[in-house]
Every structure is written in C-alpha cells, then in structure tokens.
Structure 1
Amino acid sequence: MPLYFLHIRNGDKLEIDPDGMELPDQDAALIEALKVARELLDEVADLGRDAVIEIADGTGETVLTVPFSDAVRPH
C-alpha cells in the first residue's frame, strides 16, 4: 500500500508527520485527514482559522490540502 504523510500547517508553522501511514489510496488519505482534523479541533485550542492538513505521498509531494474547516460537522 502507498505511504501518506499528514503534515499540519498552522499559519507559518509546519508540523511534519515523521512516520506516515500506509493507506490504499488518496481517498483513504482524505478520510484519515478529516478524522485527524476533527480530533485536533476538539483537543487543540490555538489552531488558526486557516490551518490545513497537507497530505504528502511517499515521495514527499503534497497531493491534497485539507482545510480544518472541511472537518467541521454541522450541528
């Protein structure tokens, strides 16, 4: 399975995912990024409104960018 990294960009800070995870495809990586974003929204108070998860493939190339706002569930 391909390796994907979920890096978190919050303003000018970039938190690198050092390990990555094996996922079947980009759709699975997107689902995982949304799950991680939801968890972080509940746990981290200082996420900026422009925070994103940058999904990179095994070569390090960013293949998707997921805004944290996409993870907000309507109430």
Structure 2
Amino acid sequence: MTRSTITPIALLAFLAACGPGENDPGPGGVTVGEAQALDEAAAMIEARKLPPEALDTTPVQEPASDPAAPERAGTEEPQQ
C-alpha cells in the first residue's frame, strides 16, 4: 500500500474512535445512551409542569385536635 492510501484509512479509524458509543460508560454509572434517554425524559417532564397560578395555594384547615369533638364537616354555625 502506498502512503496516500494508508493516510485516509488511518484518519477514518481515528475519527471512528473519537465519540462515545451508546454502550460506553457515561456519567453516574449509566451508559451514554441511558444518560441521553434520562435527559430527554427530564425535558419532557419539565415541559409538562403547571404554571404557578394553576396551583391551589389556599391553606388547609387542620382537623380538631380533640378526638371526642363531633364531626361537623361542611356545616356552618348559625350567625347571631
């Protein structure tokens, strides 16, 4: 083989080894493909978040602390 034939073959071999493969170890002990899938899933979840004004921020009333107290769910005391 001549030098003009070997040089392109060597360059292609080096370029093929540059990027990480799907099954190469990636960050956090997962493969590169798994890390990419996790990133895509996180982006999908972030895109589906509700805006803050859609959330109910009214305070929740605590139940009566006395277990002997009668249950009056939904009833109001008469005003005098």
- TM-score of the two chains, using structure 2 as the length reference: 0.28
Q: Which has the higher strand share?
A: 1
**Greater relative contact order (Cα < 8 A, sep 6+):** 1
Query: Where is the helix percentage greater, Structure 1 or Structure 2?
Result: 2
Which protein shows a greater Rg? 2
